């Protein structure tokens, strides 16, 4: 073989190598699973509402009085989903429950429960934290924290690798801006959950288990602190960049978005909220303006949609989406969960209210 032939062979090999690497690292964009189970009518109503978005596994639960319908695409009632910020409603319930127990009040100052050494955040109240009116920023603002957030957001990594001491340092370093006005804060709900755990003399995971999950029989709901805490067949989420998302373990930020649950467990939770039997149901009550035309309780947002008063909270992690919407007056609710970042809010609101949102 002559020199030119060798060069051509090497060129072909290099080109083949580049193509092979391109195929190996290619983006993964799932399609809605064709494996459907559940109520045929709800499947038929949900399917068109899922068209146009990127979906893989999706579960929809519709509660209407005593009746529950479910529709699952590539899933079932026991499929685990990260519920993201829907976790905040559980932290809100823990606050309402702690108030009922007399452990704290809505006006209890954060500095009474968390050692903030006189930092501005020490003066904010638990109610302000739960209703996003504390003035704390959405995310920690220290340069190293911002770098972690940006890297995690772009690479599909867990954005909250922080322990309790780091969270407290972040809150202590935070400046308050617009206190009393609506300003969504993951950091605020995270430190609220930790403060409630301190008030009860335990950790947040135990508090949630003892006061909410166990009483409601939510045995499939977990608060993973490490990958070892995840089940072997844990559902994997997809980022909007076409990559498999890291699970959100949340650690100290767990009160703001660390729960993994199943449609069956979340049905128990929401049904108990509708019936008023869930611990801390008072969290649902709207108490303040949310600055966006609606009102807010302990995490729950209350808005009018097509003539229906909807009490709702959504959730999103690096690879999952969730939406829980309640029509308390009509004793109805729609829950939706998926393992992509495509929002499920329009689906849930349309199924609940019959109005295109």
Partner 1 sequence: MDPMDLLPYAMGVFFNGICVLSASDIVLRAWRGEGRHRFPDRWDALARLAGTLLYLLIALLMTSWAVFPVAVWYLVSALTAAAAAGVVLRWPELPARAGDRSAATRRVSAVGTLVFLAVAVTALLVLGVFG
Give me the residues that bind partner 1 (CB under 8 A), please. Answer: 3, 7-8, 10-12, 14-19, 22-29, 54, 154-157, 238-244, 246, 340-342
Is the Cβ of residue 48 or residue 242 nearer to partner 1 in the bound state? 242
| Smallest gap from residue 170 Cβ to partner 1 (A) | 22
Q: Tokens at residue 268, please?
A: 């128990």
* CA atoms of 104 and 211, how far apart (whole Å): 15
- Tell me how far apart the alpha carbons of residues 286 and 297 are, in angstroms, rounded to a whole number: 4
Is residue 277 within 8 A of residue 217, CB to CB? The reply is no
The answer to whether residues 318 and 156 touch, using CB atoms and an 8 Å cutoff, is yes
Closer CB to partner 1, residue 123 or residue 229?
229
For residue 70, which of 336, 316, 347, 353 has the smallest C-alpha distance? Answer: 336
Say whether 14 sits in a helix, a strand or coil.
helix
CB 52 to partner 1: min, Å: 10
- Closest approach, Cβ 342 to partner 1, in A, equals 7
Q: How far apart are CB 353 and partner 1 at their closest, in Å?
A: 21
C-beta of 51: minimal distance to partner 1 in Å? 14
Q: How far is CA 149 from CA 31, 161, 198, in A?
A: 28, 10, 27
Q: Which is nearer to partner 1, 23 or 34 (CB)?
A: 23
Give min distance, CB of 88 to partner 1, in A: 24
Element (H, E) at 58: strand 58-64
Nearer to partner 1 by C-beta: 157 or 234?
157
Burial 46-81, CB ≥16 within 10 A → b, else e: beebbeebbbbbbbbbbbeeeebbbbbbbbebebbb
DSSP-assigned letters across all residues of 195-257: HHHHHHTS-HHHHHIIIIITTTT-TT-B--SSGGGS-TTPPPPB-TTSSBPPP---GGGHHHH
Q: Which is nearer to partner 1, 17 or 146 (CB)?
A: 17
Nearest to partner 1 of 158, 290 (CB atom): 158
Nearby residues of 327 by Cβ (< 8 Å), 6 or more positions away: 308, 309, 310, 311, 333, 352, 353
Minimum distance from residue 116 beta carbon to partner 1 (Å): 33
| Residue 130 or 341 with smaller CB distance to partner 1 | 341
Q: Please report, for residues 68, 251, 292, 308, the alpha-carbon distance to residue 331 in angstroms, rounded to integers and kept in the order given.
A: 12, 35, 25, 12
Taking the least distance from each CB to partner 1, the nearer of 10 and 146 is 10
> Residue 156 CB, nearest distance to partner 1 (Å)?
7
Contacts of 137 (CB under 8 A, 6+ apart): 174, 175, 177, 183, 185, 187
Tell me the closest approach of the beta carbon of residue 245 to partner 1, in angstroms. Answer: 10
Residue number, 186 or 321, with CB nearest to partner 1: 321
Q: Do residues 56 and 340 lie in contact, with contact meaning Cβ atoms separated by under 8 Å? A: yes
């Amino acid at each position: 073989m002559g020199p030119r032939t060798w060069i051509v062979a090497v060129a072909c090999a290099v080109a083949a190598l580049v193509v092979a690497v391109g195929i190996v690292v290619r983006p993964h964009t799932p399609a809605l699973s064709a494996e459907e189970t559940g109520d045929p009518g709800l499947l038929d109503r949900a399917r068109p509402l899922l068209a146009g978005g990127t979906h893989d596994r999706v579960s929809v639960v519709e509660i209407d009085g005593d009746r529950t319908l479910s529709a699952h695409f590539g899933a079932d009632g026991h499929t685990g989903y990260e519920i993201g910020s829907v976790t905040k409603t559980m932290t809100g319930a823990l606050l309402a429950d702690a108030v009922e127990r007399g452990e704290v009040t809505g006006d209890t100052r954060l500095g009474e429960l968390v050692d903030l050494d006189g930092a501005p955040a020490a003066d904010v109240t638990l109610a302000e934290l739960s209703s996003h009116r504390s003035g704390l920023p959405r995310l920690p603002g220290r340069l190293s924290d911002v770098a972690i957030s940006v890297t995690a957001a772009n690479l599909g990594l867990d954005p909250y690798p922080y322990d309790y001491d780091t969270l407290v340092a972040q809150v202590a370093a935070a400046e308050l801006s617009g206190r009393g006005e609506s300003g969504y804060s993951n950091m605020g709900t995270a430190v609220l959950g930790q403060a409630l755990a301190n008030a009860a003399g335990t950790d947040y995971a135990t508090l949630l288990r003892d006061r909410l999950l166990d009483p409601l029989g939510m045995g499939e709901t977990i608060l993973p602190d490490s990958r070892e805490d995840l089940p072997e067949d844990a559902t994997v989420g997809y980022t909007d960049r076409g990559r498999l998302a890291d699970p959100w373990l949340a650690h100290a930020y767990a009160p703001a978005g660390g729960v993994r649950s199943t449609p069956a467990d979340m049905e128990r939770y929401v049904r108990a909220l509708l019936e008023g039997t869930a611990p801390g149901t008072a969290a649902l009550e709207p108490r303040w303006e949310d600055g966006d035309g609606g009102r807010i309780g302990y995490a729950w947002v209350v808005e009018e949609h097509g003539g229906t008063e909807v009490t709702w909270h959504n959730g999103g992690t690096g690879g999952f989406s969730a939406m829980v919407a309640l029509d308390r007056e009509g004793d109805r609710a729609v829950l939706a969960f998926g393992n992509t970042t495509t929002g499920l809010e329009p689906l849930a609101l349309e199924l609940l209210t019959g109005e295109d949102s």
